[in-house]
Amino acid sequence: MVMETISEENLLPYEWPGSYFIGEEEIDAVTKVLLARSPYRFYGHDVQHYTDKVEEFYRQRLGRKNAVLVNSGTGALSTAILAADVGPGDEVLMPGYLWVACLSAVVRAGGIPKLVEIDDTFTMDPDDLERKITPRTKAVLLIHMSGACGNVERIAEICKKHNVLLIEDTAQANGARFHGKPLGSFGDTAIYSFQYNKNVTAGEGGLVVSDSELLGAKAWAYHDVGYARNAAGRVDTSGDIQTWGQCTHMSEVSAAVLWAQVQKLDMITGKMRARNQQLYKGIGAIPGASPRRLIDPEGDSGPFCLITWPTAEIAQQMVDLTRAGGVKPGPNGIGNIRMTEWGMHIYYNNVALVEKKGVNSAGRPWSDPLNDFAKDYSYAKGALPQMDDLIERSVMITVPPALTEEGANRIIEVYHESAKQIGLI
């Protein structure tokens, strides 16, 4: 499929990686589902079993025993949190660089989110994590933000040492690896997202994977109506797990799109990784520019380039000048911004969190007596000073697969020209 060309006025393509590769394969798969009149995964006139195929793809790719597709990344987080038995009296530790769904999954389960610092990998700081684990800690949510991981092995060791469940959020890092091992294969549970902004997309969609028979069975029940199903796809209430489900199934239509997309995952991430490395090398040569620390550069899935500058003022000047020079997407895209502008990815931009808004008029979970231990937890800016400083001084450039080598070179040139204007060069 021919990708869009980028004009000199707008040097960045839109940040929607998988969208550039929606083509005949996706159309053919969806057509098969519709002609079979079987858009529901469990039964129909002639079920095409695309949901089964995608689940098996990820079981094989990750070397995991269990996989269940859901209708969104948010649904995947909620399913994983419920399967982990998070509820009142529990806290879940997560980095302050996240997405609102990470917080809401815990809050809606009745638990308490507890924030952890990030380091210059832009992922969870393992030292701060270990300091903050308490007897109340039910799980750690390790979020592989912006396409790459931090010190995932050490964090896994910390969780094992403290007997705490590790959940990997791999929503923004589908296709990423750590020293050859896929992200999403380190935690007790892991989730993925296939929303439009992700490395491959079904428009919306998510996945929960695990190895534990219990976690797998609970994830299945929670994503469904609360029970197992028999071979005919009918609900079976006689099993060991009898609970309350969410009906967050993925349809066969979405799974058909996703099946075609996952065949292209390595190609998409390979294109992004190449341009990502090019930008890091070129922009990183500017005095004062500090590229994101990548423990395994070859494992980065590549959709974001993060650069930290000596001061917040310099970061803002570089954004203003380079955007004026064309380093920006069209009117509907996001790219080349100061990270303080990255919305609900930054903890203190989540108003409901800062103000401890409840999910109902009773104010739960904050008002629950079992959560009294968290009454002094603060989520306002300043709660994570190390992260606050890093975010203030950092710039994020989106790196879609449509970005060409020539386009990346022009972006690097604009950055160098801008650096000269403010005296960095």
CATH number of the domain enclosing 172? 3.40.640.10
Three-state DSSP class for 64? coil
Q: Is the CA virtual torsion 202, 99, 312, 280 positive or negative? A: negative
Confidence at residue 236, expressed as pLDDT on a 0 to 100 scale: 87
Report yes or no on 15 lying in a domain.
no
- Inter-residue contact 261 to 53 (CB < 8 Å): no
Boundaries of domain holding 299: 265-341+387-421
pLDDT digits 0-9 by tens, 143-170: 999 999 999 999 999 999 999 999 999 9
Least confident stretch, 8-12, 66-70, 267-271: 8-12
Confidence at residue 332, expressed as pLDDT on a 0 to 100 scale: 86
- Inter-residue contact 71 to 203 (CB < 8 Å): no
**How is residue 241 written in tokens?**
């797990």
Confidence at residue 288, expressed as pLDDT on a 0 to 100 scale: 97
- Mean pLDDT across the stretch 366-373? 97
Give this prediction's pTM.
0.95
On whether both 351 and 202 belong to a single domain, the answer is yes
Tally the residues of the chain: 425
Confidence at residue 239, expressed as pLDDT on a 0 to 100 scale: 83
On whether both 196 and 116 belong to a single domain, the answer is yes
Q: Give the DSSP H or E segment for 321.
A: helix 312-324
**To which residue do tokens 């292209």 refer?**
264
Report yes or no on 291 lying in a domain.
yes
pLDDT digits 0-9 by tens, 283-317: 999 999 999 999 999 999 999 999 999 999 999 99
Cβ-proximal residues to 215 (8 Å cutoff; 6+ apart), any chain: 66, 83, 84, 188, 189
Confidence at residue 175, expressed as pLDDT on a 0 to 100 scale: 98
Q: How far apart are CA 308 and CA 338, in angstroms?
A: 10
Confidence at residue 154, expressed as pLDDT on a 0 to 100 scale: 97
Q: Considering the chain, what is the average pLDDT of its residues? A: 96
Residue 218 pLDDT grade (very low, low, confident, very high; cuts 50, 70, 90):
very high
Q: How far apart are CA 236 and CA 132, in angstroms?
A: 41
On whether both 225 and 371 belong to a single domain, the answer is yes
Residue 230 pLDDT grade (very low, low, confident, very high; cuts 50, 70, 90):
confident
- Inter-residue contact 11 to 411 (CB < 8 Å): yes
Residue 290: φ, ψ to 5°: -120, 100
Residue 358, classified by CB atoms within 10 Å of its CB into exposed (0-12), middle (13-18) or buried (19+), is middle
What percentage of the chain has pLDDT greater than the value 70?
Answer: 98
Residue 1 pLDDT grade (very low, low, confident, very high; cuts 50, 70, 90):
very low
- How is residue 200 annotated by DSSP? S
Look at the chain and report how many structural domains it folds into: 2
- Residue 4, pLDDT > 80, answer no
On whether both 393 and 370 belong to a single domain, the answer is no
Report yes or no on 8 lying in a domain.
no
Helices (H), 206-311: 213-223, 252-262, 265-284
Confidence at residue 9, expressed as pLDDT on a 0 to 100 scale: 67
On whether both 205 and 293 belong to a single domain, the answer is no
Nearest to 396 by CA among 337, 315, 322: 337
On whether both 174 and 88 belong to a single domain, the answer is yes
